Amino acid sequence: MGSLQQTWVYLHASPLFHLTLTLVAFQAASWLFEKAGRNPLLNPVLVAVVLIVSVLLFTGTDYATYFEGAQFVHFLLGPATVSLAIPLYRQWHRVRRSALAIGVSLLTGSLTAILTALGVARLLGGSEQLLATIAPKSVTAPVAMAIAEELGGLPSLTAALVLVTGILGAMFGPMVLNLIGVKDWRARGLAMGTASHGIGTARALQVNETAGAFSGLAMGLNALATALLLPILWGLLF
């Protein structure tokens, strides 16, 4: 028992343990997702987060210790995002033909995401700091955190809200689009990317390559649009 305990203490302190935990949790979540017929309620990111948080709570591990091992996966977020250019390149002829529609939908979607977040938070009595925190929730995390910090919000809470937004979008976005009769893969991709950034884009890529390409484009352009529009709206409103 003493040897087993020493081994656990060593593994628990090793960054490799937390990297392995992250990969195993996501692999298990992906397996469950496939076995359940790709049920959107069993989104792999959501299930993996629940598994990892459960292990961290059970072992009493703080986030800083966990991140020492998991930061390699975090590093790969950049290359993974850049790789979204591949399906976009393959669909470039469709993007050029839809340039005007893309511009209008992105502008509308960005404004809708910002104003609805601000409106709901204000109606529920949120402080100005909370409004600044929640406003960029539909933008990819690094950009959202930078915007929130600039406006006086809490970047760490913004990151959590971005994650929740992405997971909810991936879970319920396709269902909502089906209910309102949106069948064009370009429109579906734009909606997913604008509303739920990278996690929604990953879900769109699982369903259709065209939707994934347009979702990746929307994710990037929405980050740019929000970074430009939100400070202007904030100055006008507050």
Taking only the tens place, the pLDDT of each residue in 84-128 is 777 777 778 777 888 888 889 889 999 999 999 999 999 988 889
Provide the H-helix boundaries in 2-84.
2-13, 15-35, 44-59, 63-75, 77-82
11 pLDDT more than 70: no
pLDDT at 15: 65
| Amino acid present at 183 | K
Tokens of 59: 């072992």
- Reported as a pLDDT band with limits 50, 70 and 90, residue 83 is confident
Cα–Cα–Cα angle for 228, 90, 87, rounded to 5 degrees? 60
Tell me the residue ranges of DSSP E strands in 61-164: none
pLDDT in tens, 131-187: 999 999 988 888 888 899 999 999 888 988 998 999 898 889 888 999 999 899 999
